[in-house]
Structure 1
């Protein structure tokens, strides 16, 4: 029950090395904060920002709009151009999807990765470990941009639309 003024607060600006245009933030189990920005992928250790480029593989775009850190240490990246990739131990693997602007990446309680998209004819996809499967419009998804998307403990995927 501490008051806010009893905590130490810090902020970082571009002058301090913070990247501009931050679209997504995720925290991995090792404590690092990962930032998806309009200018690439950055890692923050609490003191400094470091641009991260995969040792193997190439980012399909520097414009990263969604991030998801999973318990196994993987970092999933969604891009403005609709591509999706996974960063594992410095190796980037691309899994296609190319729809239009990845808005969110979420993980269900069973480990399934889901992707929600801003625009385009399809809005929600499920990853089976090898490729993406689009959820058909007749599966009670109201047409329109998906807003918040979350996975409930029972495996139900909840989504808001405009």
Structure 2
């Protein structure tokens, strides 16, 4: 069901120059993906889907699409065929959280079982034995200098291609949230246009300029310390999707809370901006909205069983918007979400 809402202003929050501590997303101890028990669509025929849970989507330099899943490893799609790589055929894991490509063209995969690098011919897996802080990697970034950053359940590890080294971040203080675990979990890593690297954690957001590490928290105007996801928009604003405080942005000076007359989103798990500048906002288990700086349009399970639980989005080089959900793969076409089953892709 498409819901359209007229424009409503954003509410500015004051930026203060202090720091504090706080929380983030659900514990992965119950199987890894931070999801609620109802974050799936029971009516979906899983056998028709390329996989049930599409955790991440990536397009490489050759135009090939890669779909990271939570049960079937990674799926490679060249527009003609689907090829599966998982624990049973040399990939080393069935669970993929993030994908990126380095300056040499190698593709990196963040998995529950370490980092996997693919050079076009073979997969190589790296684990704590090689220097990773944890084998369970949740987020991944290749920066402009070619350095690879891994956000794990035990903090951040960076690699220059030859060695792995720790990048210390303070663990979150979760004393106010005893039901949450993994205080050192890094949910997301992005690099902004200035070259600074941002980390989303359960203890706020961190910005690293190459020389200085700065923490932003609720005391500074951040909408919540439990930061799930990050996005820099094309105007240079940094957006923060949080667990308990909804959505806010930062222009370099001031934090601004996203508010709307019809918006009551709290637990934001997905952020994406398409080529038209439209901001897509996924709330955990409560559907997906898009915002074009004036109008807010929201979608739910009536628009597609998987739209209630959106994990990721990607606009490919042909302008097609792919959506990874808790009930398979979708594509946004003509204002509608189309479930892209195996039959439709092949």
Contact 1:95 1:130 (C-alpha < 8 Å) held by counterparts: no
Alignment of 1:4-153 (within 5 A): 7-20=80-93, 21-52=95-126, 58-81=131-154, 83-99=155-171, 100-117=184-201, 119=202, 122-143=203-224, 145-153=226-234
Name stretches of at least 5 consecutive residues in structure 1 with no aligned partner. none
Give me the whole-angstrom Cα distance separating, in 2, the residues matched to 1:37 and 1:44: 13
Contact 1:146 1:160 (C-alpha < 8 Å) held by counterparts: yes
Name the larger-Rg structure: 2
Deviation track 1:52-88 (CA, whole Å, cap 9, x = no partner) reads 369xx7222222221101122110111112x212201
Name stretches of at least 5 consecutive residues in structure 2 with no aligned partner. 1-76, 172-183, 243-266, 268-346
Give me the whole-angstrom Cα distance separating, in 2, the residues matched to 1:85 and 1:9: 32
Report SS of the residue matched to 1:14: coil
9-18 vs 136-145, which deviates more?
Answer: 136-145
Contact 1:109 1:154 (C-alpha < 8 Å) held by counterparts: no
Give me the whole-angstrom Cα distance separating, in 2, the residues matched to 1:42 and 1:13: 11
Give me the whole-angstrom Cα distance separating, in 1, the residues matched to 2:231 and 2:88: 35
CA RMSD of aligned residues (A): 2.6
CA drift of 1:91 comes to: 2.4
Give me the whole-angstrom Cα distance separating, in 1, the residues matched to 2:170 and 2:118: 28
Contact 2:132 2:165 (C-alpha < 8 Å) held by counterparts: no
Contact 2:195 2:209 (C-alpha < 8 Å) held by counterparts: no
Report SS of the residue matched to 1:138: helix
Which of 220, 225, 241 is equivalent to 1:160? 241
TM-score, reference length from structure 2: 0.40
Q: Give 2:303's aligned residue.
A: none
Give me the whole-angstrom Cα distance separating, in 2, the residues matched to 1:156 and 1:44: 33
How many residue pairs end up in the alignment? 154
The list of structure 1 runs, each at least 4 consecutive aligned residues, that deviate by more than 4 angstroms after superposition, is none
Report SS of the residue matched to 2:84: coil
